[in-house]
Structure 1
């Protein structure tokens, strides 16, 4: 699929210096003209791709937009997602697919940003689900031990002297009060 190839090319460029069109063509089993069209597509979508001709030529992504020996910051992740979402060159279904693929790669590279180990394994699982939802900006549904149901997009985890709290919908809920959490 054309979109898969373009996504793979983008991820390669984000993690590399100059890559020749010949290398990309061989890697994806297409000709160099197809790679050139893919680069035009990515440029039109707002990805800052630079090209250079000649033996030492090829393509690269602007250094300010790169993932090289570092993790993307949340700001860089949002910038990349925004660029993909605002592209008018592909259908909504294709955009959602690309976003899911890119988010999976990016979240994998940033998933160890914060680690908490509690004695209760159930609480550790709750924190892992909250962390995933924060990174994906994904809605959750929680049931408190009191029976109250709360849903929304979690904003942050807060460490206080008396415990760990979830910030959601302008409320702060102590993690120990959560009975069940579901990613929606």
Structure 2
């Protein structure tokens, strides 16, 4: 739970007493590689703070084609938020790409924590705002950047993930073929 406190205190300080209250809302869970956190059609009861590991969130169309929405690593929050906040069934999948540890938080817990401690409401607002702006940046990048620019941006923003995520998934995320990704990788090697 020390990692949770450190994570929260990157945004707002909490006293020992406050943190004792905060940690009662979280449940630690260990996830194995290839295990699903969420599958389409399931009820989404938790959002997750990733303590270790990497996860892939994706959408499957009616033909079974996968579209990667995001990757998430250490200190990232992740859920099918449309389902989580609206208490609906998932339209996305989230799977673990390497053994991981996560903290689970229910919507009720999040709301109660936010009403109990204003600083936690502030914390969650800051985290949601950062997540929203990252998603918006990704959409704009997909719409307006070249494959080379998207590749370079991904490498700059997430260098640790570039080394751990299979190239197949990076190519899907960037919206390019595996062959194009190989060319982009070769072009950047000399830089």
Does 1 or 2 have the higher relative contact order (CA < 8 Å, sep 6+)? 2
Using the size of structure 2 for normalisation, the TM-score is 0.30
In our comparison, the structure showing a higher alpha carbon Rg is: 1
